[in-house]
């Protein structure tokens, strides 16, 4: 199974260039799509999910033309959008049964078996009879994955799935994603770097509709070995001085003090300490380079 995206572009009527010649090739497994809000991630996901047209380019899923053969693609697709609505007065079991009918699963016995399996897989069996309107954010997201898995999809798209979840629900949801991402293509679109680092053997970073890099997290981090430094500053003036002289890629508050992360081929000078690179450094370095273009 392969999803191939070739030179995909999209400009909205208000003049926003959402996608600028995006090309990617994805195989089975988890693929992370990183980028800040407004980078074009949701535009790309919606286009792949057949929910909007592209201006130019091609998308194929195992030889199927995604942009033209939309009904075929939808039979192979599971989608959890960023804004996922539910019928608040329906139970999870009834809602999944209803959605299964809409997916074309007409045999009642087959449907019952499938719904029960999905409720167990997403750890919602004990609350299957409760109205969806009473669910927590994490429970709603797990229900969203359950509905996305209806019909045994070959491609699953999840858009910003852990935003707003507490740490416990986030871990539970990531474990669920990991368990389903072994035999199908799963695209995880997010601005949360940790989610990609924990789950995805391949990733891409996009910003302002452009593809900045595609790599494995390990290789991307390895390329920065010995090139990331940190310095703690005590005032805005000191921070401005460092920013004027060094390639500051990010700033963090640590115990109430500002820590700067710097990219440099060689030691920047006194007061700068070498640190082990991480995926956030990769992310912010690419964004900073793109911002200067």
The CA distance from 95 to 129, in Å, is 10
Contact between 95 and 132 (Cβ < 8 Å): yes
pLDDT of residue 227: 95
**Burial of residue 247 (number of CB atoms within 10 Å: 0-12, 13-18, 19+):** middle
Give per-residue pLDDT as tens, 269-293.
888 999 999 999 999 999 988 765 4
Locate 201 and state its tokens: 């053997």
- Average pLDDT rounded to a whole number, residues 23-43: 92
Strands 29-34 and 17-26: unpaired
HEC letters along 36-49: CCCCCHHHHHHHHC
- The sign of the torsion formed by the CA atoms of 18, 21, 27, 30 equals negative
Could you tell me which residues come within 8 angstroms of residue 68 by beta carbon, excluding any fewer than 6 positions away? none
pLDDT band at 75 (very low <50, low <70, confident <90, very high): confident
Report the chain's mean pLDDT, rounded to a whole number: 90
Strands 3-11 and 56-61: antiparallel
Query: Which pTM value belongs to this model?
Result: 0.88
Judged against a pLDDT cut of 50, whether residue 46 lies above it is answered with yes
Give per-residue pLDDT as tens, 48-73.
999 999 999 999 999 999 999 999 99
pLDDT of residue 253: 85
Domain spans in the chain, listed from the N-terminal domain onward: 3-216, 226-276
Give per-residue pLDDT as tens, 207-265.
999 999 999 999 999 999 999 999 998 888 888 988 888 999 999 888 788 899 999 99
| More confident: 173 or 188 | 188
Contact between 146 and 118 (Cβ < 8 Å): yes
Place domain 3-216 in its CATH homologous superfamily.
P-loop containing nucleotide triphosphate hydrolases (3.40.50.300)
- Average pLDDT rounded to a whole number, residues 199-213: 94
């Amino acid at each position: 199974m392969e999803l191939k995206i070739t030179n995909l572009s999209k400009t909205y009527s208000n003049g926003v260039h959402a996608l600028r010649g995006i090309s990617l090739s994805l195989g089975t497994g988890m693929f992370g799509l990183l980028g800040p809000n407004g980078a074009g991630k949701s535009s790309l996901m919606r286009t792949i999910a057949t929910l909007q047209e592209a201006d130019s380019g091609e998308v194929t899923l195992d030889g199927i033309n995604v942009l033209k053969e939309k009904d075929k693609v939808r039979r192979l697709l599971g989608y959890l959008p960023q804004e996922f609505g539910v019928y608040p007065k329906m139970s999870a079991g009834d809602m999944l049964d209803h959605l299964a009918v809409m997916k074309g699963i007409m045999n009642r016995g087959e449907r019952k078996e499938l719904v029960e399996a999905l409720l167990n897989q997403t750890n919602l069996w004990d609350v299957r009879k409760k109205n969806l309107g009473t669910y927590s954010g994490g429970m709603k997201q797990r229900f969203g994955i359950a509905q996305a898995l209806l019909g045994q999809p070959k491609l699953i798209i999840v858009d910003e799935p852990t935003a707003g979840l507490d740490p416990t629900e986030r871990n539970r949801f990531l474990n669920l994603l990991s368990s389903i991402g072994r035999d199908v293509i799963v695209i995880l679109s997010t601005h949360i770097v940790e989610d990609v680092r924990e789950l995805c053997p391949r990733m891409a970073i996009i910003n302002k509709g452009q593809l900045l890099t595609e790599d494995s997290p390990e290789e991307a981090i390895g390329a920065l070995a010995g090139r990331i430094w940190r310095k703690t500053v005590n005032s805005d003036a000191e921070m401005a001085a460092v920013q004027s002289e060094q390639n500051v890629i990010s700033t963090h508050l640590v115990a109430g003090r500002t820590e700067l992360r710097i990219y440099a081929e060689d030691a920047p000078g006194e007061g700068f300490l070498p640190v082990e690179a991480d995926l956030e450094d990769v992310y912010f370095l690419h964004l900073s380079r793109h911002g200067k273009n």
